[in-house]
Amino acid sequence: MRKFSNFMRSLFVAIGTLSGFVTILWAFFPSSLNPIANKCPWTLLTILLVLAFIYAIFSNRTKNIIELKLTDKVKSTVFYGDLFDAKEVLVIPVNEYFDTIVDDKIISSKTVHGKFIQKFFGGNEADLKSQIRKGLAKIEPLEVNEARKAGNKKRYPLGTVCEVKSGDKVFFLLALTKFNSNHRAEVKNSEYQRVLCDLFSYIEQHSQGRKVSIPLIGAGHSGVNLNKQKLLEFMLFSIALKDELTLINGVDVILHESVKKEISLASTETLFKTIGS
């Protein structure tokens, strides 16, 4: 159903573009085009529809990588791969407590947060906790939850970013989710938008020209009420709408292979090229 929707969107974009082009031609060459339209209108219409269908099919072919110019100051490459293979700066969504315990209760081992801890700080949780404590030292927590039996007790505002390091990699830990009454980490759509704004503002101020790589933020257990296609496009729009944002080396959005069936990069490319034009 989503593929059909993307195809129809591309088709209507093509029809609109071709119709506009023909209208312009008609304005300049009416004497040449009027006889053609009068003699074979259906042939002309068929040609336009065939061209539109060809464009829609071409634009919705499977793509593994796209390059977008989101603003005059920010470019983005979106592709499938392993986030942890990226160099320089990686964004890791975490919960509001910046927890470090991967026990499938506080942190799931299947999330980016859990995999990050296991891969880069497995067996050395103390180092990660120490870096987080130093990184958040100047940030006022919302509360100190002494009643919390496991995990960190200081709770921070969503959108808070803490920088930690492992080897030659730098990680921007982003407070994306908070715990609800059922102790499940989640973020509301309205909060999600503000979190992204805070993240990109932080990236602009602290990336220091380094390449920044981010996952599909909110695609895991966060509870964001958007399908993967809309989630990607919303995230990219959040960057595009920040006119003052300047990222010298752009930003890479690295998608996990598991979302490949739910996302059409060709459709995303068509959308942003249409808007950019």
The mean pLDDT value of the chain amounts to 85
**Does the pLDDT value for residue 96 go beyond 90?**
yes
Higher pLDDT, 255 or 36: 255
* 109, 206: one domain: yes
Of 34-38, 39-43, 143-147, 154-158, the range with the lowest mean pLDDT is 34-38
* 9, 79: one domain: no
Indicate the residue among 43, 59, 75 that finishes a domain: 59
Task: State the Cα–Cα distance between residues 168 and 138, nearest whole angstrom.
Answer: 24
| Residue 29 vs residues 16, 21, 34, 255: alpha-carbon distances, Å | 20, 12, 9, 48
Confidence of residue 152 (pLDDT cuts 50, 70, 90): very high
CATH of the domain at 234: 3.40.220.10
Confidence of residue 54 (pLDDT cuts 50, 70, 90): confident
List pLDDT tens digits, range 245-275. 788 888 999 999 999 988 989 889 888 887 7
Higher pLDDT, 44 or 92: 92
> What is the reported pLDDT for 216?
95
* 174, 223: one domain: yes
Tally of domains in the chain: 2
* 148, 96: one domain: yes
* 215, 79: one domain: yes
> What is the reported pLDDT for 39?
63
* 109, 152: one domain: yes
CB contact set of 111 (below 8 Å; sequence gap of 6+): 93, 220, 221
> What is the reported pLDDT for 179?
83
Task: State the Cα–Cα distance between residues 166 and 236, nearest whole angstrom.
Answer: 28
* 177, 226: one domain: yes
Q: What is the pTM of this model?
A: 0.79
Range of the domain at 188: 65-276
Of 12-26, 74-88, 98-112, the range with the lowest mean pLDDT is 12-26
Indicate the residue among 21, 40, 59 that finishes a domain: 59
> What is the reported pLDDT for 34?
60
**Does the pLDDT value for residue 67 go beyond 90?**
yes
List pLDDT tens digits, range 107-147. 989 999 999 999 999 878 899 999 999 999 999 999 999 98
* 51, 79: one domain: no
Average pLDDT over residues 12-29: 68
Indicate the residue among 59, 88, 105 that finishes a domain: 59
Between the two ends of the chain, the Cα-to-Cα distance in Å is 27
* Residue 260 near residue 79 (C-beta atoms within 8 A): no
**Does the pLDDT value for residue 33 go beyond 60?**
no
* 81, 51: one domain: no
* 236, 208: one domain: yes
Q: Which residue has the tokens 């009068």?
A: 38
* 37, 74: one domain: no
> What is the reported pLDDT for 239?
87
> What is the reported pLDDT for 252?
95
* 43, 82: one domain: no
For the ranges 27-31, 113-117, 235-239, the one whose mean pLDDT is highest: 113-117
> What is the reported pLDDT for 171?
98
